[in-house]
Structure 1
Amino acid sequence: MPSDHWTLGFDTSAAHCAAALLRAGELVAECHEDMARGQAERLMPLLEEMLAGAGIGWRDLSALGVGIGPGNFTGVRISVAAARGLALALRIPAIGVSTLEARAFGLPRPVLTVDDARRGEAYVQRFTDVGESAPDLCALTEIAVTQADALTGTAADALHELRGTGTVRASAMPLAVAIARIAALRAQDGTPLPRPAPLYLRGADALPPSDPPPQLLDA
């Protein structure tokens, strides 16, 4: 990878604002700020601070990596929209990376990533040496676990307690760092990639109003 190849990865798919900056695949800076809200206002300043701290500007970037979920509906939209806009303005690739893949990155296979989706459910995806399953949303009680599985993600402990098998493992690196590393590898490969798009496994929590619409009266 060229020494001037800079990759910026970021994620707002949960109650955080996270970013990582790589140069030629090596970590230069990483930041994770917990926040229940305000990601839309914080994301761009955070990225600008990270670039300034490394002594580079937006035009020095070669690629972007962005977390596409699954996760918080609004949070995923914030980061994906930012990545698309930056990619268009800078004329560089923006590469979408699922949080499930990012959590499994760098861990020995087989890995079962399980992230808490609330309501007794989890986002789940299995990664093996020969491939990966499709990401899914299902009840914790429906997830099969083998003794060989490494369990990672925010619901790994709960699943291990429920099933009593498998081995809980922490992710090999912070989420934004994994997103940046995966994006850097895919950008280096040179294969054309689609624009990042949110990975929604569940619809938005917002429900339509239950009250009947107002009736129009004849004048």
Structure 2
Amino acid sequence: MILLAIDCAASLCAASVYDADADRELGRSVRDLGKGHAEHLMAVIDEALGQAGKAYADLGRIAVSTGPGSFTGVRVAVSAARGFSLALKVPAVGVTTLEALARETRDALGPRRVFAVLDAGREEIHAGLYDETGAVLREPVVLSLTDAAAIAASGPIALVGTAARMVADAAATDKPFGFGPMLATADIGTYARIAAAKTPAERPKPVYLRAPDAKPQAGFVLPREEK
């Protein structure tokens, strides 16, 4: 099975073409954009397909990072994945940024519990807890720094994500922590490998743990003219 993975959850706009049967990446394209994912995503996908020597018709599955992360970036990637799934008549599989970061930590450090934590600003942490096999112990949730630190201090655990050091410093414990990548998203190849092993279920949905910062300016809405 040939799989296309895409990720726009953080500053990167990334695509990978992955041969699941051979467990081998065939092509990839990654751009560090910050913003503007919608304008670049199709070109990034085309670059990855071209490097792999594959066409859209060769794809048997779509993988997409579903967040938490950039509200706009996640929406762009998930919308694209669902569109490809519908047009190509292939399943789309969602992978959260937290489970992907946890997978990279286990790959680097060996089997262990992993607490994936992202700095969401406003003194909030986006967090997910995973066991030694990657099974979810705690679904993605918004925590205070105090609550996240308490979980980290509860037992042997590895920390990963942009808030990893912050949570470790706040944890009142002498127990040493293992650390994974202190990044906002995982390598695009990690999303591909996770999605290849999943059983497709419902269509992927964005993982939004809080409302978007941008809101309609209701005070500037013009009144409707009665006819």
TM > 0.5 fold call: yes
Looking at structure 1, the residues matched to 201 and 113 of structure 2 have their Cα atoms a distance apart, in angstroms, of 26
Matches within 5 A, 1:101-140: 101-106=99-104, 107=106, 108-129=111-132, 131-132=135-136, 133-140=138-145
Per the TM alignment, residue 64 of structure 1 is displaced from its structure 2 partner at its CA by: 0.9
Looking at structure 2, the residues matched to 158 and 139 of structure 1 have their Cα atoms a distance apart, in angstroms, of 12
TM, length-normalised to structure 2: 0.84
Partner in structure 2 of residue 176 of structure 1: 188
The unaligned stretches of length 5 or more in structure 2 are none
Q: Which runs of 4+ in 1 moved over 4 A?
A: 212-218
2:8 corresponds to 1:12: yes
- The one-letter code of the counterpart of 2:140 is P
Specify which of 26, 50, 53 is matched with residue 52 of structure 1: 50
TM, length-normalised to structure 1: 0.87
* Identity fraction in percent: 37
When structure 1 is superposed on structure 2, of 13-22 and 57-66 the one drifting more is: 13-22
The unaligned stretches of length 5 or more in structure 1 are none
Per the TM alignment, residue 192 of structure 1 is displaced from its structure 2 partner at its CA by: 4.5
Aligned residues: CA RMSD: 2.4
When structure 1 is superposed on structure 2, of 127-136 and 142-151 the one drifting more is: 127-136
Partner in structure 1 of residue 161 of structure 2: 153
Per the TM alignment, residue 174 of structure 1 is displaced from its structure 2 partner at its CA by: 4.2
SS at match of 1:105: helix
Looking at structure 2, the residues matched to 183 and 217 of structure 1 have their Cα atoms a distance apart, in angstroms, of 51
**What is the count of residue pairs matched by the alignment?**
210
Partner in structure 2 of residue 67 of structure 1: 65
**Cα–Cα, structure 1 residues 213 and 7, in superposed 2: closer, same or farther, change >3 Å?**
closer
Looking at structure 2, the residues matched to 15 and 98 of structure 1 have their Cα atoms a distance apart, in angstroms, of 16
